[in-house]
Amino acid sequence: MNLLTVLIMVVTGFIFASFVEYWIHRLMHFSHKIGERHRDHHRRNEGQGVLWEFRDYLKGSLIILCPMFFISWSAGIGWFVGGLIYAAFSAYAHQLQHDNPTKCFWMKMPVHYVHHQYNMWHHNFGLGVDWWDHVFGTYQSVEWLTEEVLNQPERGFIELRWK
């Protein structure tokens, strides 16, 4: 097994998974059939819990996680692990932005929180990262650190709904 290939494919799989997640989320806002469950998510404005989100992301991504095994074991393992890591990270980031958005330190603004809080049906589609919103022009900055957000009790990075 070629370790360099595995590492390159882990990074590539992670990035590609973030790209797919962005476009699937965006598609949910434009397709009535695909977006039915997602519209309910917007009405409730809450995540399912990290573990349930992870399960759904993994189920939805299995079709894109396996094809690299046809190229080589090294490429397949790296790609699969990169996608798996992104699915776990995205599930955590999604729930964190619903439960504790101020802890989303890796983004200037927690885009998914803003997407919900300000009813942005055409902006801020990222869940785990905001890269693709910047690339495709859907990033819309708002002043999100309101008094209400700042006055919420201090919570840690793992104080969120897990299941």
pLDDT tens-place string over residues 55-98:
999 988 888 888 999 999 999 999 999 999 999 999 999 999 99
pLDDT tens-place string over residues 141-158:
999 988 888 888 888 898
Mean pLDDT, all residues of the chain: 91
pLDDT tens-place string over residues 127-145:
999 999 999 999 999 999 8
pLDDT of amino acid 147: 87
Structure tokens at 147: 């008094």
Q: Is 160 helix (H, G, I), strand (E, B) or coil?
A: coil
pLDDT interval class at 33 (50, 70, 90)? confident
pLDDT of amino acid 42: 66
Say which residue the tokens 């299941």 belong to. 163
In eight-state DSSP terms, residue 154 is P
pLDDT of amino acid 40: 66
pTM of this prediction? 0.91
Q: Which segments of the chain does DSSP mark as H helices, in order?
A: 3-28, 36-44, 50-65, 73-99, 111-117, 131-135, 147-150
**Full 3-state SS string of 54-98:** HHHHHHHHHHHHCHHHHCCHHHHHHHHHHHHHHHHHHHHHHHHHH
